Chain A
Amino acid sequence: MRVRVQAEPFDYGAECTGFGQGGRDVGAVVTFLGVVRDDSGTLAAMEIEHYPGMTEKAITTIAEEARGRWGLADLLVIHRHGALRPGEAIMMVATAARHRAAAFEAAEFLMDYLKSRAPFWKKEIGADGDSWVAAKDEDEAALTRW
């Protein structure tokens, strides 16, 4: 299990290559990539602030819960911070399990929890000024299914 919080870009392809493979107990690998989207059409950058120390702890807690609950053979979370341009990768999740249902569910669980329980805050830097991205009620509601 690996958790990385970093400003630098990561190589999604390289991270996925070989992930969870090579053993005899893994039948399914699911990977997810989050990318900076420009809804307004005027986004210059997405500035991601985080809480050094708590971020790593919070993600590790979420990841350990996922690993235990779905019996994952391996798990990887990478989340970036700093100024990112539209189209750049923000974060990725990879899960490896015996069966695909567990790998998919664990990846969705990780995404739902990272969204509202990992201390990151997004600010949109646009042509018309800057604005903090507000948390959505449905993101909080998404946690109730787990």
Chain B
Amino acid sequence: MIDILYFAWVRERIGLPRERVETAAETVADLVAELAAREERYAVAFADTSALRVALDQELSEFSAPLSGVREVAFFPPMTGG
């Protein structure tokens, strides 16, 4: 099981802030493909991953990164702090 968190417009498009999923995905990109195939709202949110960022266990990462041992995945748009 893996916790998936969504922030900002990704959260709004998918319609929930977090969920727990059972997945056999090996990489972030595999997980994205799995989620996008679920429902239209996921497909819309993940349509352009170049507009998204991903964090694995609260560290910024890449879509090509492996998911083994990861407990928390977060998807969000580029950050706008400061």
- Report which A residues bind B (CB closer than 8 A): 34, 49, 51, 53-54, 57-58, 79, 90-91, 111, 114-123, 132-135, 140
Contact = CB atoms under 8 A, between A and B. Distances in A.
A121 B79 contact: yes
Interface of B: 5, 7-9, 55, 58-60, 74, 76-82
Given A51-B7, A51-B74, A121-B8, A135 B80 contact: yes
B76 A51 contact: yes
Contacts of A49: 7-8
Contacts of B58: 51, 53-54, 57-58
A118 B74 contact: no
Contact of B81 (A57, A116, A134): A116
A133 B80 CA distance: 7
A49 B7 CA distance: 8
Contacts of B7: 49, 51, 119, 121
A118 B82 CA distance: 8
B79 A118 contact: yes
Contacts of A117: 60, 79, 81
Given A51-B55, A51-B74, A123 B8 contact: yes
Contacts of A133: 80
A111 B82 contact: yes
Q: Which of A79, A119, A122, A133 has the most CB of B within 10 A?
A: A119
A121 B10 CA distance: 11
Contacts of B78: 116, 134-135, 140
